[in-house]
Chains A and B, each alone.
Chain A
């Protein structure tokens, strides 16, 4: 057992950290969020140039063959800086599904994700299935795809959709062009400044060559994607919690009331210690989950469920306390602190919230 990051992993962290500090300040981020749904093509190009879009892909697909640990490193730093670029939707989620496919089309699509020229989103959620992601109505009959997918992340910018559908009794994942006849996107900005959309497929012609994954491989690909995506957003939340408590400590040292810095008050000190502890124990559980996933441990899915449940509770505590201790400033949109709370709230809601995962953990 070894719980130290490798030199390579530390260098990756350093690189992401430096980028966020110099090129992705909160002001820059706010402009991107306000003008373009959290996505800036120039930033995305920088990601591609830095090689970040290639991180989890195998070498034969043109990637670095990195795993969950490196992704968690990147997301922890993204979480600190509130990075809103669609890395999760493209590299993690679509990447995970495509990487598991043996279809040559998947390979070609990966290379276009890596060079940053194409964006891909997985369309799996539906209006009536809650978190039961395998309970789907979208179906293919006689080569025509029909159905409505909801809360598709980054739908505004996706050039391609990986659509989870049923072909008779069997689950299938198709790769569908966003411009294909019969595809329509109704997109929304999300509560945390990114975007998602409902994607409607109406008699969209899909040939067999577009099948990325079939039968039990398809449902397993979705499960594997959900595990990895959950791990990544939990790492993001850990980064966000760390930033939240550090910013709060800083703020309370500067803010004076009753003739002294409010950080002198024990009731606030203990609140900040609570925030610190929640961030740390969450980080510990993140270690366990990412190491298990990396080692393909049978328990990994269960641990990730546990992690997601823990993050739901811890990040709510940290996010709320950070706003509370910033007082009126905490509820001002111009301050970054409230944006962490928004992101935590979205993270909890994605891919099964705390209640869902607590039940899931209990039943596994």
Chain B
């Protein structure tokens, strides 16, 4: 056992720092550090800069254009990005459908989809949840009926993050009504430009438009867009969820936010808040080492299994606690509401101190989602109970 980084690791860290200094797009950096909303183009610019660096597939195997990095390198990469307050890398292509395609897809599909995912030429979204199927995901009803070379898809998906920007959606669809509901599910890739798809915004309690409803009416999908075998979609879905949970805790970003919170509250005469911050910082460091332990297990040939559920639960609880502390620290100055379009006035309130006050409450409200998405934390506990504790 050894906690130290090798010379090669330190050199690698310097490379990441060099990227952040020289190639991380300046306009994105500025907006991020001012707490401004990023546009679709900003996100594309950011991802493309990672691609040009050869780092888009930071956790992909080399044979599919990934970096083939060691767990330590991935850790260093994410840590430096977090310290630099970069935007979250969008997971839908790179961490979700990408690994599903290179693991379960055929050669044609790999050739067709993987390069565009890496290069961020396609923006993906995730068609899992439905109005009647949340935690009980396997009860989903969106139907895909085979008709010659095509599937005809009817139904609706919901809570679809950034579907308004997406070029493609990966969907769990029901291809058969079976005794065991998991068995009739298939994994289908659908072009968002196909006729019969309608995207409607859902505004969340922070006032933002992040998620959507997606409706499918007689949508014609080429059968070649089916991943793996018909009826095996649930297996691929579970594989994806385990990958999704990985890195969901956002430890490096939390470290950055913690640093800001500590700086801004250092003169507060509030011992209770100081203790809360200390408690949070300790737990964050425990979570960080839990992630490292999981990475180490992966490097030794393991798979991200139910253990990733701990990271999801603890990580999201900590994210939420952090947003609560920001709200507490800002006190009464959270009141003037700054929505996605700014303040409802030409002026900025005198009390506004960047994201410390006005945005604190938006983030607090927005982050309620974290313990709900990716399989609610209660569902994660069911998974751990069954898979690890055996009850």
Q: Are B3 and A295 in contact (CB under 8 A)?
A: yes
Q: Whole-angstrom distance between the alpha carbons of A9 and B1 in the complex?
A: 10
Convert A235-249 into 0s and 1s, putting 1 for each residue whose CB lies closer than 8 angstroms to a CB of B: 000000000010001
- The main secondary structure of chain A at its interface with chain B is helix
Question: Closest Cβ of chain B: how far from A317's Cβ, in Å?
Answer: 13
Residues of A within 8 A of B296 (CB): 2-4
Residues of A within 8 A of B9 (CB): 1
Q: Whole-angstrom distance between the alpha carbons of A9 and B2 in the complex?
A: 13
Q: Report, nearest first, the 8 A-B pairs whose CB atoms are least far apart.
A: A291-B3, A284-B289, A362-B278, A306-B282, A269-B385, A285-B286, A3-B296, A263-B391
Residues of A within 8 A of B2 (CB): 1-2, 291, 295
B residues whose Cβ falls under 8 Å from a Cβ of A? 1-5, 9, 72, 75, 274-275, 277-279, 281-283, 285-290, 292-293, 296, 300, 307, 310, 313-314, 378, 381-382, 384-385, 388-391
Q: Are B378 and A287 in contact (CB under 8 A)?
A: no
Q: Are A358 and B283 in contact (CB under 8 A)?
A: no
Convert A1-32 into 0s and 1s, putting 1 for each residue whose CB lies closer than 8 angstroms to a CB of B: 11111100100000000000000000000000
User: In chain A, what residue has the closest Cβ to B3?
Assistant: A291
Q: Whole-angstrom distance between the alpha carbons of A151 and B285 in the complex?
A: 32
24 pairs across A/B with beta carbons < 8 Å?
Answer: A1-B2, A1-B3, A5-B1, A9-B1, A270-B378, A273-B385, A274-B381, A276-B310, A276-B388, A281-B283, A281-B314, A287-B1, A288-B285, A288-B286, A288-B289, A292-B3, A294-B3, A295-B2, A303-B285, A310-B283, A313-B279, A359-B275, A361-B278, A362-B274
Known contacts A277-B310, A285-B285, A310-B283, A1 near B4 by CB under 8 Å: yes
Among A273, A288, A358, the residue within 8 A (CB) of B389 is A273
Q: Whole-angstrom distance between the alpha carbons of A264 and B389 in the complex?
A: 12
Is A135 in contact with chain B by the CB < 8 A criterion? no
Question: Closest Cβ of chain B: how far from A117's Cβ, in Å?
Answer: 33
Question: Closest Cβ of chain A: how far from B105's Cβ, in Å?
Answer: 33
Which range holds the interface residue count of chain A? 35 or more
Q: Are B310 and A269 in contact (CB under 8 A)?
A: no
Is A266 in contact with chain B by the CB < 8 A criterion? yes
User: In chain B, what residue has the closest Cβ to A364?
Assistant: B278
Q: Are B390 and A249 in contact (CB under 8 A)?
A: yes
Known contacts A284-B290, A285-B285, A276 near B389 by CB under 8 Å: yes
User: In chain A, what residue has the closest Cβ to B384?
Assistant: A273
Q: Whole-angstrom distance between the alpha carbons of A26 and B251 in the complex?
A: 41
Among A263, A291, A306, A362, the residue within 8 A (CB) of B1 is A291
Known contacts A276-B388, A294-B1, A362-B275, A3 near B382 by CB under 8 Å: no
User: In chain A, what residue has the closest Cβ to B291?
Assistant: A284
| Besides A266-B382, A287-B292, 4 new A-B residue pairs in contact (Cβ under 8 A), listed by A number | A1-B75, A272-B385, A273-B381, A276-B310
Q: Whole-angstrom distance between the alpha carbons of A276 and B286 in the complex?
A: 14
Question: Closest Cβ of chain B: how far from A230's Cβ, in Å?
Answer: 14
User: In chain B, what residue has the closest Cβ to A310?
Assistant: B282
Known contacts A253-B391, A270-B381, A287-B289, A1 near B275 by CB under 8 Å: no
Q: Are B3 and A297 in contact (CB under 8 A)?
A: yes
